Amino acid sequence: MAKMPLQFSLNGRDTAIFVNGGENMLETLRRGVGDMSPKYGCAQGTCGSCTVIVDGQPQLSCLTLSQTMEGRSVETVSGLSDGPQLHALQQAFMDGFAAQCGYCTGGMLMAAKALLMNNPNPSRDDVVEAISGNVCRCTGYEPIIDAILDAATKMRGRAM
């Protein structure tokens, strides 16, 4: 059974791997590369636990054909912190009790990061819209929204 070669950048590092035809990027990242941070929740795009960032935009890795990632830049929550230094979003999620079981958290953080990259000064509605494809079943949406707004404020402060 032939496998196909695939090269892409993962969290800024060049990555090369062989994938099965028809394989999705969630499987490639988790079982192929070994980055377990994107999670399987539904394999149909409805839950957002597998959200990654591709070339600066949020994307559902379960609905991404791995072979379309050739030469693209992929970011996961594994690469969010700067070494031991947490990203402002991570710190805000911790401080604001925005993670309970933690299963949706990686996807939420990626959706939030994509938002703040494109819009550093979001309104509450913008935040709600940005995470509208991400389900949290422990129902902590309010702390999650607060944490994202909190991180945005802190990041703007730092940039100035």
Ranges within 129-148 binding ligand FAD (CB under 6 A):
none
Q: What is the 3-state secondary structure (H, E, C) of the chain?
A: CCCEEEEEEECCEEEEEEECCCCEHHHHHHHHHCCCCCCCCCCCCCCCCCEEEECCEEEEHHHCEHHHHCCCEEECHHHCCECCECCHHHHHHHHCCCCCCCCCHHHHHHHHHHHHHHCCCCCHHHHHHHCCCCCCCCCCHHHHHHHHHHHHHHHHHHHC
Q: Is 45 in the site for ligand FAD (CB under 6 A)?
A: yes
Considering beta carbons, is residue 10 or 52 the nearer one to ligand FAD?
52
Least Å distance, CB 29 to ligand FAD, is 19
Least Å distance, CB 141 to ligand FAD, is 18
* Partner that binds at residue 40, options other proteins, ligand FAD, none, CB closer than 5 to 8 Å by kind: other proteins
* Partner that binds at residue 4, options other proteins, ligand FAD, none, CB closer than 5 to 8 Å by kind: other proteins
* Partner that binds at residue 93, options other proteins, ligand FAD, none, CB closer than 5 to 8 Å by kind: other proteins
Least Å distance, CB 123 to other proteins, is 13
